[in-house]
Structure 1
Amino acid sequence: MTNTEENEETNMAAWLLGIKNLQIQPYHLPPLGPNDVKVQIKALGICGSDVHHFKNMRVANFIVKKPMVIGHECAGIIKEVGSNVKSQAVGDRVALEPGISCQTCNLCKNGTYNLCKKMKFFGSPPTNGSLANQVVHPENLVFKLPDNVSLEEGAMCEPLSVGVHACRRANVTPDSKVLIFGAGPIGLVTMLAAHAFGASKVIIADIDDHRLSIAKDLGANGTVKVSTNLQDTDEDTEKIQKTMGDSIDISFDCVGFDKTMSTALNATRAGGKVCLVGLGRSQMTIPLVAAAAREVDVIGIFRYRNTWPLCIELLKTGKIDVKPLITHRYKFTQEDVEKAFETSARGGNAIKVMFNL
């Protein structure tokens, strides 16, 4: 038996078999291609989409129809390289960008590869994810980590990329005054990214006092506790504008409900921008005509593109510190996998739940 065969037989992964049914079982990797690397996964964070798959076996139109390895926020150590690999070496500590685009369609050729219709994305059905001992991944989607950036921070490049891409799309600049809806992981990394892009003022709105206190500790210039009444947009708009003290140039909705998007459109100044980041609802009823009459631009994002080098640089230079977002850590055992996903699904005090493999 070769070493490769032995590794493949003993490689284990967390398989999603049904609603709230995760089992650690063998995972036989595809062969290592000439442009691929084999990575021993060392750190992996649980994303909101992972929780949706765990609880519902679907996220929007992405439906789990057969057993699937879960997870995509990951970093690890290279164990083997393909024959053509030049930029990576065995032993390198790396962060992995989880989506493999076709690289041949017009979207890919134009640089918007995150919108590729043939995208194969870790842990998004039908593609297996990376909560495993080892995975095989293309060399060009693996990024070496500096010595002062930990593997956990490397895994956090994935959610941070969402915030960085959102700030790029909305063109956050040093004179931008920013509002963020949602003090969950994505809202918080969007806040960190907005500050790193130089935004002069960033406030966060949420319904939860604990998460708002975390946002304040992480550098929010102000926080607003909004109502749980889904119809109450006027009072929330007034609270937000009073807290901001200035007109809001850019709003990021990191929740994605009718109410949050409606309030964002109402609170943002004429000629400003609202960026929809969270996908809480597949359809919304929002005051779009009134916003259009004030020339409020509505933009959206889907995942990210070309963000890993910048994220790693922001972490390396200390312009962004994601370590405080990691609130819970678990091992890669059957018991801990179940506990970790239950903890993440409950929310509460959990921000980012991280596996140490």
Structure 2
Amino acid sequence: MTQTPALPETMRVSVLNGVQNLTIEDRPLPVVQPDEVLVKVAAVGVCGSDVHYYRHGKIGDFVVDGPLVLGHELSGKIVAVGADVDAARIGERVAVEPQRPCKNCRECRAGRYNLCPNMEFYATPPIDGAFAGYVTIQADFAHAIPDNLSDEAAALLEPLSVAITTMRKAGIEPGSSILIAGAGPIGIICIQAAKAFGASEIIVSDLVAERRERALSYGATRVIDPVAEDVAALGLDVNAFVDASGSPRAVDAGIRAVRPAGTVVLVGLGNPEMTLPVEQIQNLEITVTGIFRYTNTWPAAIHMVSSGVVDLDSLVTGKFDLDHVAEALNSDQNPDSLKSIVYPGK
């Protein structure tokens, strides 16, 4: 291993020991494997999945059954490299793609490494995440970033990657129309991604007036209050519908708003089962799909942000150190909150 001089022997880590039970620990720095780099963590975004593990101890089949370090939206600086990695990378500022696929299974060989059955993903039990001073990642998943990207924006390339995957699945291209349900963090980032992909009509539905106003400020061309108006009856006739709400009612209405041969992409974490309008889907030949993370999105995400097409810095509404991770995880209870950032080194 090649490293910068005088790395510490230990690092501070925020550890989830049970539901709403966080402690700070001192741990040894992770061991760097030959194909890995050691990253000093600069900024970590708080994701809804982190909040779910914190409050409920599980997401579907993923159950926290031992101590777990949360956090998977991150940026930092390479401070050491494994034996197989060019030492010239030491000192690079990077955005981390927080996953380690096996690269040998059927899904990996087909280019769908996000669906690798042997995936090790940050902050998904039992793999520790990034609310820590240092992390390791395979070198090709540490993406070099330009100087005009802040640490915060680099960390938020992860949720932008979700939005890029969504737009690719939805088939958004110049002139497309899209309906997005939910104007939370992912919904707002999806608005920007849809605009970057060339959508000319971006309609957003949300229950909260302040969120609808925020959607307009980020590029929505129209907003809808789904309580005051029946989304399914408005004749929207969009190319694609994206659900970023997880609401069964929103999903049903969105499917009914899609034109023949249109596409529906389910992004929001909602009920594990819901009733869909199958006759509508079948008769109009609507494609209904989901997304699970991402593949090969960081280069596009870096370009979108560095070129100014997408603004991630303005999404940051809260900043916390490692001693206040609980407050960061609970910040979503503030209706004005979009994205909170944790700084493990501060």
In terms of mean alpha carbon deviation, does 38-47 or 9-18 score higher?
9-18
Root-mean-square deviation (CA), in Å? 1.8
The DSSP-based 3-state class of the residue aligned with 1:330 is strand
Whether the 8 Å contact between 2:231 and 2:254 is mirrored in structure 1 is: no
Tell me: CA distance 1:205–1:282, structure 2 relative to 1, closer, same or farther (3 Å).
Answer: same
CA distance in structure 2 between the partners assigned to 1:263 and 1:150 by the alignment: 38
- Establish whether residue 261 from structure 1 lines up as the match of residue 256 from structure 2: no
- The amino acid of 1:134's aligned partner reads Y
Whether the 8 Å contact between 1:113 and 1:305 is mirrored in structure 2 is: yes
Equivalent in the alignment of 1:252 = 242
Query: What is the Cα deviation at residue 155 of structure 1?
Result: 0.2
Tell me: CA distance 1:88–1:44, structure 2 relative to 1, closer, same or farther (3 Å).
Answer: farther
Query: What is the Cα deviation at residue 87 of structure 1?
Result: 8.0
**Seq. identity, %:** 36
**Equivalences for 1:104-183 in 2 at 5 Å?**
104-183=104-183
The DSSP-based 3-state class of the residue aligned with 1:189 is helix
Aligned positions, number: 341
Equivalent in the alignment of 1:95 = 95
Q: Which consecutive unaligned segments of at least 5 residues does structure 1 have?
A: 229-233
The DSSP-based 3-state class of the residue aligned with 2:52 is helix
Query: What is the Cα deviation at residue 317 of structure 1?
Result: 0.8
Equivalent in the alignment of 2:329 = 341
CA distance in structure 1 between the partners assigned to 2:137 and 2:244 by the alignment: 29
The DSSP-based 3-state class of the residue aligned with 1:149 is coil
In terms of mean alpha carbon deviation, does 27-36 or 103-112 score higher?
27-36
Whether the 8 Å contact between 1:249 and 1:273 is mirrored in structure 2 is: yes
- Establish whether residue 64 from structure 1 lines up as the match of residue 84 from structure 2: no
Equivalent in the alignment of 2:232 = 237
- The amino acid of 2:175's aligned partner reads D
The DSSP-based 3-state class of the residue aligned with 1:68 is coil
- The amino acid of 1:237's aligned partner reads A
- The amino acid of 2:233's aligned partner reads E
Query: What is the Cα deviation at residue 27 of structure 1?
Result: 2.9
Equivalent in the alignment of 1:218 = 218
In terms of mean alpha carbon deviation, does 288-297 or 118-127 score higher?
288-297
Equivalent in the alignment of 2:281 = 291
Equivalent in the alignment of 2:186 = 186
CA distance in structure 1 between the partners assigned to 2:193 and 2:185 by the alignment: 12
- The amino acid of 2:232's aligned partner reads T
Normalising by structure 2, we get a TM-score of 0.94
In terms of mean alpha carbon deviation, does 206-215 or 6-15 score higher?
6-15
Equivalent in the alignment of 2:202 = 202
Deviations 1:161-218 (A, max 9, x none): 0000011111111121000001011111111111000011111111111111111111
CA distance in structure 2 between the partners assigned to 1:190 and 1:237 by the alignment: 21
The DSSP-based 3-state class of the residue aligned with 2:265 is strand
Equivalent in the alignment of 1:301 = 291
Query: What is the Cα deviation at residue 29 of structure 1?
Result: 3.9
CA distance in structure 2 between the partners assigned to 1:67 and 1:121 by the alignment: 15
CA distance in structure 1 between the partners assigned to 2:232 and 2:86 by the alignment: 54
The DSSP-based 3-state class of the residue aligned with 1:319 is coil
Equivalent in the alignment of 2:35 = 35
CA distance in structure 2 between the partners assigned to 1:317 and 1:68 by the alignment: 36
- The amino acid of 2:329's aligned partner reads F
Q: Which consecutive unaligned segments of at least 5 residues does structure 2 have?
A: none
